[in-house]
Structure 1
Amino acid sequence: MPLFSLHSPPFSVRIATDSPTLFNDLSLLYPQELLCPSVRAAHIYDFHIDFKRHFSGKSRPYHFRTGSEHFRMADANQLIPTFEWGLNWCVSAYQQQYLAIHAAVLEKNGLALIMPAPPGSGKSTLCALLMLRGWRLLSDEMCLIDPVNGLLQPYVRPVSLKNASIDVVKQYQPGIKIFHRTPDTEKGTVAYLRPSDSSWQHANVCAKPAWIVFPAYQAAAEPVALFTMPKADTLLYLAQNSFNYAVFAAEGFSLLSQLVENTVSYRLEYSDTEQMLECLEQLLC
């Protein structure tokens, strides 16, 4: 299938590929109504992706790029993780309508939880487990702040699980379907969990930010330790982990200041995931 499109609000993507499997592989992760086997001639796409085989050699022949900008090469057995990482790159590097922060976002009862955290903190694991406990997923990777009203715009995509977190999620809910387990990537073994039906159905519903939690998994730590974060530290960390804070300039500072002022911030250190989930839901709900 040389051309197809993906419409996951708020962005739409046109994909050109010569991979015989990419469309079908993505159909396991995205609903049929979002993944279309064609493109619309009159539609303005946010991103035009070229993901084709450009070398005949055996080592990483597929290239992911948008326009003249190259992102990454990939082997045929790593097309899905490269595609998902590539979409993150497109949004983080090129969209400027939202202030974007590297963070997971979930919602319950109309209020949103933001979880910014570095790799290895357990952010994606917590995101997946909270979704399985009934929270609505807005994003596993992107906190998108609407500068007009300060609300959080969903960007629903599959949850990326890595290494040990794959088995943690499977043990938490036996029988759960986890797709495209791919070993030996630059991030180790990667696999994907489909968002819940409710998350897809409410992909156009913004949420009001209420909490910011910085998770930190530490094997030698207490089962759960919770600390209130100073607002100044929270603001600094969010600015450092924003993809386009410098582009928004003074408006970005104003948006983050408003976000921090209107939310409560915590640092959560844990070694026991189940106790942590119970503590988190008691605290927030």
Structure 2
Amino acid sequence: MKTITVGEREIRAAVTMGEAIEAVRRGFVDLVGGEFEMPTRTALRDGQFLVMSAHHRSTASAMFKTLSVNFARRPAIAGTVIWSETGRLDQLVADAGAVTALRTGAVVGVATDLLAPPEAGRLTLIGAGGQAPDQVRAVHAVRPLRRLTVVDADARRARALVGTLESELPGVELRTVSDAEAAVRTAEIVCCATNATTPLFPASALPAHVHVNAIGAFRPTMRELPDELLADSTVVVDELDAVLAESGEILHALQAGAVTKDALTELGTALTATAPSPASPAAHGNRTVFKSVGVAVQDWALARLLADKFLP
């Protein structure tokens, strides 16, 4: 038995964003099809330590991820992803920071491809931290961008992110601003990737036609979106049990009576709808929201890609 270890550089070289998006898409289809055993993740010290696992029945494969989260350090996420399957003696151990960023970007790509208007090309990204680059890459992979506006309280960090992405976005208008409310007024797609505990903008600031992704808040104490936006939008979530346990936005909106559980559609359900559903591209209203706290099927999907590439 051998353990193959892959670091961030190897992961980035081996997996394209397009591959990650398709792998995560298939994972969510299998999730709604009952292919996974996937317990709600264990969160210790209010989310500073996380443990996630998923077992895929038909392939007899499993993924286990442990990580620590500390927004005061760089990188904020550190840990390991372990892949194992009964048909192979060898196992894979991968850098959790790189896997998490890729899979979080990938699920936003899946949701944006499903929910955003086909012609959408103006993205406002709020938050220029570790998850930000892959948010942009994923949206660009499914909705080629014409304009990117980056909002961050730290202007230097916003400019650094634009500098990192500039070579990947030829012909795209690139801007950095400090006012989130002003920045979303002309957006067609908004991505929120912050550790905020209060909403980043009022619902009234958004245009009538917009798709919003929110991936930053992953604990009940965190919140990026206002109740009014959730009340006035088609809301798709990664997995219902997960958001009911961990999403500050969803919990706050439920308690305020702004939304009901029945109004929340799981991503896998939306992807597999055979007729127009509340979350289908043909049926959604002027505003759509995708709320993700991150679930283990995403990590499983990326780990399987890596296992196929690195294990004998």
Q: Give the number of the structure whose residues are more often helix, by fraction.
A: 2
Higher relative contact order (CA 8 A, sep 6+): 2
Q: Give the number of the structure whose residues are more often strand, by fraction.
A: 1
- The alignment's TM-score, normalised by the length of structure 1, stands at 0.28
- The alignment's TM-score, normalised by the length of structure 2, stands at 0.26
